[in-house]
A and B are shown apart, each in its own frame.
Chain A
Amino acid sequence: MPYVEGQTIHDADSHVMELPGTITQYVDPKLRAEFAEKTARKNAILEWAQKAADLQDDPEFRAGLWRVIRFGAVQIPVMLGLALVAALALDAINTRVARLFRLIAFMPYAVPVVIGALMWGFLYSKTFGPFAGVSHLWGAGSVNFFGGNLLLVSLGNVVTWAWTGYNMIVLYSALQGLPREMYEAAVVDGASPIQVAWHVKVPAIRQAISLAAIFTVIGTMQFFNEPAILARFAPDIDAGYTPNLYAYSQAFRFGAFNYSAATSFALGLTVFVLSYAYVFITRRRAAHA
Chain B
Amino acid sequence: MRDVFYRKGFFLFSQAALPRLLDSVGSSPHPPSLIVTGATASLRGGAYLSSFAHACAAKRATAQSIAREFGPKGVHVAHVIIDGVIDIPRTKEYDVNGGVEGGKIDSDAVSTTINAVMIEDTVKDYLMRC
Asked if A and B bind, the verdict is: no
Residues in A lying within 8 Å of B, measured CB to CB: none
Residues in B lying within 8 Å of A, measured CB to CB: none
